[in-house]
Amino acid sequence: MALKQWTRRAALIAALAATTGLTALAPAPATAQTPPGVLIVGQIAEPKALDPAAVTAVNDFRILMNLYDGLVRYKDGTLEVEPALATEWQISEDGTEYTFTLREGVTFHDGSAFDAEAVKFNFDRMLNEDHPYHDTGPFPLAFFFSAVEEVTVVDPQTVKFTLNAPYAPFLSNLAYPTGLIVSPAAVEQHGADFGRNPSGTGAFTFAEWRSNEAVVVEANPDYWDGAPDLQAVVFRPITDANTRTAEMLAGGIDLMVEVPPVSLSEFQGDGYTLHEQAGPHVWFLILNAKEGPFAEKAVRQAANYAVNKTALVENVLEGTAEVAAGPTPPAFAWAYNESLEPYPYDPDKARDLLAEAGMEAPEVTFYVTEGGSGMLDPIAMGTAIQADLEAVGFDVSIETYEWNTFLGNVNPGLEGKADMAEMAWMTNDPDTLPYLALRTDAWPDAGGFNSGYYSNPEVDRLLEEARVATDQDTRAELYKEMQEIVQEDAPWVFVANWKQNAVTSDRVENFTLQPSFFLLLDDVVKN
Amino acid sequence: MGRYIVKRLISAIPVLFGITLIVFLIMAMIPGDPATAILGSYATPENVAKLNRDLGLDAPLWQRYFIWLGNMLTGDFGQSFALNRPVLDEVLERFQATLILAGTAFVLCSVFGIIAGVISAANQYGFADKAITFVVLLGISIPSFFLGMMMILWFSVNLRWFPVSGMWPIYGDRDLGALLSHLTLPAIALAVVATGVVARLSRSAMLEVLRQDYIRTARAKGVHERGVIWRHALRAAMVSIIPVLGIQAGFVLSGAVYIEIVFQWPGVGRMLVDAILTRDILLVQGGVVFVAACYVLFNIAVDVAQSLLDPRIKT
């Protein structure tokens, strides 16, 4: 009996030890540092695919830009294009023919040659529904190249794009990830699985994708633009921002993107470098110019004066954004009108404008989103904006929606539903946002994003002209004029331009963020 | 017994059909669609319509339901829009991770919950009882995601005893030790609340039993107190503790969603949250049906276990 009892107790203790004792065994490997030469990047999500034609998220672009090249790319630190896989190009007089001379001696990671046929394959796959590999899609951003009528192989090193009409953003669209060139041989080999077996010409070659754990890429020693210093890069998806911060603090990652504003103070010390870079992003409020109080220009201007943008940017966003002056982000330096001053915070002026318009406590329904791409801290911002507007006499009621529901409400237009909605855009060309969201022909029923029904024939004309002008200086003048008119008309409340941020550990050198928001790692060194 | 199990299994079939219908309708009714989620800023009606066509979402609702159901019966759960891979591959891989996490947490909460409950009951109103009741109350009151974050801050960031997140090391061997070092914090964070609930219910179940005449008889005939408690009383109390464990298994499984997000555990809970946010319809539907089926089977297993302990329950 005694023995039996003893064995029972022993079994119980053993069970306890097995469960708690493991705790004591485990710790050793946790403190192991990441190996030198291998950069570990904390990403915000698992990528969808590594096929540049098939994805839409900045998160995926961050990996893709290191695996592939396009015909052109953005010059370091700018949003202006420079040669990449194409060494030079000619644009025909009428702006509808682009002839590219391709770089010689470049091969894809799978060994196949990069030539004009490969370029043609890429665009035909995306745009031509009869192409044998069109079914490796869908290609949601193919409309970036909807102006392309035909791609012609002139000779192995020369390729010609024929457009159905002059389209100025064509070159910067080629620099966008959707224009990155994939290996036709790899697409033919892997078919729909190409997105998990990518092959490009970039600085890094694909090594391994462990679902929900990591994408591993290794240095391409034969890279045409010089082999990278790093041996490998590991992209880890860590969706929760607090967990990402903790990983950075614990040394589990070397580089972290999208640091939440509240965590910035954790990285003030010597062990870390904080990087910031304003990008082609604008955060604004769409005002319903068709009906309700904001049909009056004076009331729209009043809202612009009433919102304390400096306080939003400094307090709510902890300095991770700058006050926006107009519809075009300053990151498009060549097209940005430097003379624009943001609407100052002037509640008295706002009250005067309201009084002049004969508005007494105008009622405003305000759509706020819970999150979403580029929306920063939409609930806190929405609440602060509500308080500012109420302080000058508006009567604001907020309706909050989850992001996709929100888009489903806002994109079809605000008419009959709301007077004001939060919105943010990140684009790659100064044409995109105003063309899609400020023209009369971009009202929702015409298939655009002008959800507030702004209409000014002069703005329409400027945007149409800028789109077909191929000379960059001419385009710049047109955009600058457009910005002045739009700022005066105030179809939106212009709020903020987001500064993308990242933190690197003190072992990482030569890292800079790009205004494109892409992550370029070919020059980075890790000690 | 065999007939009982077969009967229960057959009765599960309409439940599963109901689940497929409900999850399909919910995904069809919630605002927002996959094309809008994929296109984001560029979701013009024209682009959305084209993408919906490419994704095969332009067929009528009932048609889509029967296509989906028919494919599922042949084992084809479809392709995830957001991850570009077969739903079933993703669900199985993710469910395995959840099973490891939730299974460990379930074992922890059952073992420690029952032990704590029994000790409490055996020392009713004594010091041990009061101490355990206090700790249990504390455990039940802390939200698991908050506890998880605090544990990361303390044990991973400050002390560096455990890795912050993930299931496997990025470099190094994938052995049991590596798994355990990643598993310890999330499993404990997940088990705490359930342990408290199990402890409380075990305590009251034990107290109930300890008042019975046969316990007095056992004591009177001189059975050692430990034997009375662990052998006679606990065995009888298990009849009412086991169904609680069945319910706790459900709680642990659903609580795993928060823990998987905080600890970046590659489990099915986090997968479902991501899938809902990106309107990855087939992945949500496939994931929910799979998890629900497992839960139904688990409950049948609990009922069978209970009927083994107490033959009167068998119907």
H/E element, B210: helix B176-210
pLDDT confidence band for B313 (50 / 70 / 90):
low
**Rounded to a whole number, what is the distance in Å from the CA of A23 to chain B's nearest CA?**
6
pLDDT at A130: 92
Q: Which residue has the higher pLDDT, A10 or A52?
A: A52
Q: Do B161 and A27 touch (CB under 8 A)?
A: yes
Mean pLDDT of the region A185-199: 93
Q: Say whether pLDDT at A417 is over 50.
A: yes
pLDDT at A97: 95
ipTM value, please give it.
0.81
Q: What is the tens place of the pLDDT at every residue in B210-255?
A: 888 888 888 888 888 888 888 888 888 888 888 888 888 888 888 8
Q: Do A30 and B41 touch (CB under 8 A)?
A: no
**DSSP state at residue A294:** G
**Rounded to a whole number, what is the distance in Å from the CA of B88 to chain A's nearest CA?**
14
- Among A residues 437-456, those touching chain B with beta carbons less than 8 Å apart: 444, 447-449
Q: Say whether pLDDT at A151 is over 90.
A: yes
Q: How far apart are CA A325 and CA A488, in angstroms?
A: 11
Give yes or no for A426 touching B (CB within 8 A): yes
Q: Which residues of B189-210 are buried (b: 16+ CB within 10 A; e: fewer)?
A: bbbbbbbbbbbbbbbebbbebb
**Which CATH number describes the domain made up of A1-64+202-254+514-527?**
3.40.190.10
For residue A500, what are its two tokens?
A: 């993308």
Question: Using a CB-CB distance cutoff of 8 angstroms, which residues of chain A are in contact with residue B227?
Answer: 5
Mean pLDDT of the region B128-132: 92
Q: Which residue has the higher pLDDT, A132 or B250?
A: A132
Q: Which residue has the higher pLDDT, A365 or A142?
A: A365
Contact, A248 vs A234, CB < 8 A?
A: no
Mean pLDDT of the region B261-280: 88
For residue A267, what are its two tokens?
A: 């990285």
pLDDT at B255: 87
The alpha carbon of residue B245 and the mean position of all alpha carbons in its chain are separated, in whole angstroms, by 11
Q: Do B164 and A252 touch (CB under 8 A)?
A: yes
Could you say which of 3.30.70.1400, 3.10.105.10, 3.40.640.10, 3.90.550.10 is the CATH number of the domain covering A281-500? 3.10.105.10
Give yes or no for A42 touching B (CB within 8 A): no
Q: What is the tens place of the pLDDT at every residue in A284-314?
A: 999 999 999 999 999 999 999 999 999 999 9
Q: Which residue has the higher pLDDT, B55 or B111?
A: B111
Q: Supply the mean pLDDT for chain B.
A: 87
Q: Which residue has the higher pLDDT, B8 or A227?
A: A227
pLDDT confidence band for A161 (50 / 70 / 90):
very high
| The domains spanning A69-191 and A281-500 adopt the same CATH topology | no
Q: Hey, where are the domains in chain B?
A: 87-314
Domain B87-314: what homologous superfamily? MetI-like (1.10.3720.10)
pLDDT at A33: 61
Give yes or no for A22 touching B (CB within 8 A): yes
pLDDT confidence band for A12 (50 / 70 / 90):
very low
pLDDT confidence band for B22 (50 / 70 / 90):
very high
Q: What is the tens place of the pLDDT at every residue in A33-81?
A: 678 899 999 998 888 889 999 888 888 999 999 999 999 999 998 888 9
Q: How far apart are CA A371 and CA A368, in angstroms?
A: 9
pLDDT at A246: 92
Which residues, listed in sequence order, are joined to residue A420 by a DSSP beta bridge? A287, A366
Contact, A301 vs A343, CB < 8 A?
A: yes
Give yes or no for A365 touching B (CB within 8 A): no
For residue B239, what are its two tokens?
A: 């009849």
Q: Say whether pLDDT at A32 is over 70.
A: no
Mutate which: B94, B114, B164, vs A, most A CBs within 10 A: B164
pTM here is 0.84
pLDDT at A4: 44
What percent of chain B clears pLDDT 90, i.e. is strictly above it? 35
Topology at the third CATH level for domain A69-191: Dipeptide-binding Protein; domain 1 (3.90.76)
Mean pLDDT of the region A6-24: 47
pLDDT confidence band for B203 (50 / 70 / 90):
very high
Q: Residue B179 burial by CB count (10 A; 0-12/13-18/19+): exposed, middle or buried?
A: middle
Q: Which residue has the higher pLDDT, B14 or B226?
A: B14
Q: Do A246 and B264 touch (CB under 8 A)?
A: no
| AA letter at B237 | A
Residue (of B174, B19, B24, B193) closest to B97 by Cα position: B174
Mean pLDDT of the region B144-148: 91
pLDDT at B315: 52
Q: Say whether pLDDT at A425 is over 70.
A: yes
Question: Using a CB-CB distance cutoff of 8 angstroms, which residues of chain B are in contact with residue A449?
Answer: 41, 44
Q: Hey, where are the domains in chain A?
A: 1-64+202-254+514-527, 69-191, 281-500
Residue (of B282, B279, B302) closest to B290 by Cα position: B282
Q: Say whether pLDDT at A449 is over 50.
A: yes
Question: Using a CB-CB distance cutoff of 8 angstroms, which residues of chain B are in contact with residue A250?
Answer: 156-157, 160, 163-164
Q: Say whether pLDDT at B177 is over 60.
A: yes
Mean pLDDT of the region A396-414: 89
Question: Using a CB-CB distance cutoff of 8 angstroms, which residues of chain B are in contact with residue A408?
Answer: 31-33, 36
CB pairs under 8 A between A and B: 180
pLDDT confidence band for A7 (50 / 70 / 90):
very low
- Among A residues 194-213, those touching chain B with beta carbons less than 8 Å apart: 195-196, 211-213
Mean pLDDT of the region B38-56: 76
Identify the closest residue of chain B to A250 by CA–CA distance: B157
Mean pLDDT of the region A208-218: 91
Mean pLDDT of the region B191-220: 89
Q: Roughly how many angstroms between the first and final C-alpha of chain B, as a whole number?
A: 10
Q: What is the tens place of the pLDDT at every residue in A311-326?
A: 999 999 988 999 999 9
Q: Say whether pLDDT at A470 is over 70.
A: yes
- Angle, vertex CA A505, rays to CA A502 and CA A508, nearest 5: 95
pLDDT confidence band for A2 (50 / 70 / 90):
very low
Give A91-96's long-range contacts (Cβ < 8 A, gap of 24+). Answer: A91/A470, A94/A166, A95/A163, A95/A166, A95/A167, A95/A168, A95/A468, A95/A469, A95/A470, A96/A162, A96/A163, A96/A164, A96/A165, A96/A166
pLDDT confidence band for A22 (50 / 70 / 90):
very low
H/E element, A61: helix A58-67
| AA letter at A127 | L
